[in-house]
Amino acid sequence: MLGKILAVLEKLGLSAQKRAIHAQFSNSALNEELFIQRIDGEHVLNQGLQATLICLSTNALIPLKQFIGVQVAVDQVTDRGELFRTTGIITEATQGQSDGSLTLYKLTLEDATSLWHKRRNSRVFMNKSVRDVSETIFKEWQSKSPLFASSLMLDLSGLSQNYDVRPFIMQSNESDYDFLTRLWRSEGINWLIDEAQLKVPHSSVPIEKQKLRLIDDNSQYQALSRRSIRFHRSSATEQQDSITSFIGERSIQPTAVHVQRWQADG
């Protein structure tokens, strides 16, 4: 074994300050063992965050269970020299090929709402609003899962409306994720996984909780300070970030939606 991979990179002049991407793990032992090479992912409104991290290590014997549930902060250097931070938890780990000196590890990074897929329930809420139900389930997860509690907080500041108290709300053999997102869609509420700090001064800044923002008003969204991003090919190294592809997509949609709600006193 060549020793810790970070020590090897330091000798080659590839310190954290000279790399375009850096990963910080809540498990300090992994910080010495892993070097992130690549990140690919999607961060989508009303869906959340999912990314794949490709990491290298000089240690081919890292137990995969050490990765599961670990919090990670990935810092990427922007074209303005700022560190753009993406955080989440490792939900899946795969060991790849090894050439005898370096071993590849493929890690799946997701936000903490991915844990909601792991619990399926049937229950009834009486005389509660969608906001009340959301807070109830969120607090349950905070009390039962230390990982969830340390990874995500609920931000309701984006809700500007008063939501009806429903006499009867039923969760029928649904995962908590499917149940909550169904309720939010029924009220026209959008959800967004946001970072506590989108930009950090340096990579050693501690990992902070993400925010689950519930939003019902477009004024809550902020425009990029740059305002415009150039559409340009990616055949050469550019001084500024650019959009490299536009793809059109269309699918069949219903022409009308009718919602009926049971009202006991109606």
Looking at residues 244-248, what average pLDDT do you find? 89
- The answer on pLDDT for 15 being more than 70 is no
Are residues 144 and 88 both part of a single domain? no
* Separation CA 194–CA 212 (nearest Å): 6
Reported as a single tens digit per residue, the pLDDT across 171-209 is: 999 999 999 999 999 999 999 999 999 999 988 899 999
Report how many domains make up the chain. Answer: 2
Beta bridge partners of 191: 214
Boundary residue ending a domain (194, 221, 241): 194
Q: Looking at residue 8, what is its pLDDT?
A: 60
In a domain, 25, yes or no: yes
Are residues 106 and 132 both part of a single domain? no
* Separation CA 212–CA 154 (nearest Å): 5
In a domain, 85, yes or no: yes
Are residues 118 and 134 both part of a single domain? yes
Are residues 134 and 94 both part of a single domain? no
Q: Which residue range forms the structural domain that includes residue 161?
A: 114-194
Q: Give the residue from 54, 49, 51 showing the smallest Cα distance to 94.
A: 54
pTM of the full predicted structure?
Answer: 0.85
Asked whether the beta carbons of 75 and 84 are under 8 A apart, the reply is: yes
Reported as a single tens digit per residue, the pLDDT across 146-173 is: 999 999 999 999 999 999 999 999 999 9
Q: Looking at residue 32, what is its pLDDT?
A: 86
Strands 152-158 and 210-215: parallel
In a domain, 228, yes or no: no
Q: Looking at residue 79, what is its pLDDT?
A: 83
Are residues 48 and 82 both part of a single domain? yes
Q: Looking at residue 171, what is its pLDDT?
A: 95
- The answer on pLDDT for 228 being more than 90 is no
